[in-house]
Structure 1
């Protein structure tokens, strides 16, 4: 028996139409998370330095070749509702052999994504809660959260319907094992 699909409310349809019609000014990015349009400024240099550390290690050390996309829009189902969330992770990894990014539009489904990651910035609770729930609903196997405010790294795994069932948190400077398909130890000394 399949999931019950609900028709979108008029409010949800208006919000989605407004979101898709946005002409986001340069220097800003927009997401649709849990029926709310979120507009944020582009990140600072420290944020980007953390991203570079992760990308470099994943590309160099992963057991399988990975394709990376920064700021790739993902459409995430909302538990039976017709209007999906539109979320932009700081980084998205997919196995290169799947070629998922080639020919993908601005917003792609999350099927086939191996891991997303976020580096906290001006609204860290959004990365800690709302986005984590979105990625779990999308059945993305791994969510890596780099929390600059708490100086910690959390790897969420085993996605359920609304959240991840497992979380492993370590302080910056410690290493964390990334499971298959990555199968390597991510070093975080450069986050200090």
Structure 2
């Protein structure tokens, strides 16, 4: 009986150890999401353009000065019987005063992160569903999803019990209000 109770933990430890030892090809990134190792190829130019458009507006218009990191590894609370999720958002914002990125390891806790951004690419359902749950379990206050397939942006907020309670979606070309600590309307006219 005791061996069975510890079996999921042992499997989770082995999975995490194997994941952390991966040597992915240059430009590829590996993530551990809900007990599955996910490897994605380098992003295309449109993917990077969306991130750039968001980053510029946040840096220029936020009421709170923000630092930005592209592809920063975050350790988040894992799903039941899984190791901690190791997720790499396309963009991570944190208040400058916290200096979260300075001196951080490759995989850092998400405490203090204000917003994560994902742009759909090769596995859109991972960004729409799986990563959304990961960020909510990690209590990341805001998750912004740029859904290229739907030509829309969705802002998820109020993480609770493994998901977000609030979501607001707009189509490309509209404005999306970002709450504090950002406090401005994200203009997506250039997304069209």
User: What value does the CA root-mean-square deviation take over the aligned residues?
Assistant: 1.3
Partner of 2:91: 91
Tell me the residue number matched to 1:153: 153
Asked if 1 retains the 8 angstrom alpha-carbon contact of 2:12 and 2:81, the reply is no
1:167 alignment partner, SS class: strand
For 1:166, the equivalent position in structure 2 comes to 166
* Contact preservation (8 Å) 2:69, 2:93: yes
In the other structure, the counterpart of 1:114 is: 114
Residue deviations 1:14-62, cap 9 Å, x none?
1101000011111211000001100010100000000000000000000
- For normalisation by structure 2, the TM-score amounts to 0.94
The residue number in structure 2 matching 1:3 is none
Q: Indicate the SS of the match to 2:14.
A: helix
Looking at structure 2, the residues matched to 171 and 83 of structure 1 have their Cα atoms a distance apart, in angstroms, of 36
In the TM superposition, residue 81 of structure 1 has moved relative to its aligned partner by 5.2
Equivalent residue pairs, number: 187
Measured against aligned partners, the alpha-carbon deviations of 1:163-186 in whole angstroms (never above 9, x if no partner) come to 000000110000000000000000
Equivalent residue number for residue 16 of structure 2? 16
- TM-score, structure 1 normalization: 0.94
After superposition, where does 1:31-70 map in structure 2 within 5 Å? 31-70=31-70
CA distance in 2, matches of 1:122, 1:178: 27
- Listed as ranges, the gaps of 5+ residues in structure 1 are 1-5
Larger displacement relative to structure 2 (79-88 or 40-49)? 79-88
